[in-house]
Amino acid sequence: MINLLPKIQFEELDKEKRIKIVLILGIISFSALLAFSLILFSIKIVSENKLEVQNIIFQQRERELEIEKIKDKEKEIKKYNLLFSNLLDFYQNQTDATEILEKIASLLPENSYLKSFKFKPLTEKDFVGEVFLTGFSPDRESLIKIKENIENEKSFSDLDFPVSNWASQYNIDFSLSFKVKK
């Protein structure tokens, strides 16, 4: 092709061509950059959404774990409450043997004393327990007084006073048993 245009026009056309090419390349570059930015922005949004979903799931799991811990603590508290309740029932149903021992000691005449005291709890309807005693009495008169005092005590019944207690007149080692009423 033969170029019949003057050099100035030719340069202007050439310059316009270059400007068009630069503009086209600029538009293409800008479009690519814009598309790339939009892609990155959409990736960012999707990532943030996924992160937010994961945070929600994590928080929910934390709450579930806290609830499980609370339930475990509640079970433990219930277990200890039951244990303490059982202990309280046990101690409330116990007979205070010291009261019985004090009552017996108050019934003993002077110079008489106990050598052993055994209290056996009973499950019978009318009785709290059974008492087994051994002791010392200086003479038979004191022994009679012990027997009478225990027989006259309203909270004691079913006195068992063996005949062997009467064998000696002085320095008597005696034994007896009786039941304690409720």
pLDDT, tens only, 107-134:
899 899 999 999 888 887 888 889 999 9
**10 CB-near residues (< 8 Å, 6+ apart):** 3
Percentage above 90 pLDDT, the chain:
60
Cβ(180)–Cβ(155) under 8 Å?
Answer: yes
Fold topology of 97-181? Alpha-Beta Plaits (3.30.70)
Q: Distance between CA atoms of 149 and 130, rounded to whole angstroms?
A: 17
Task: Write out the two tokens for 95.
Answer: 């007979």
Q: In whole numbers, what is the pLDDT of the chain averaged over residues?
A: 90
Mean pLDDT within 147-170: 90
**39 CB-near residues (< 8 Å, 6+ apart):** none
**Confidence check: pLDDT of 1 > 60:** no
Most confident of 57-71, 100-114, 146-160: 57-71
Q: Distance between CA atoms of 21 and 107, rounded to whole angstroms?
A: 129
Q: For position 29, what pLDDT does the model report? A: 95
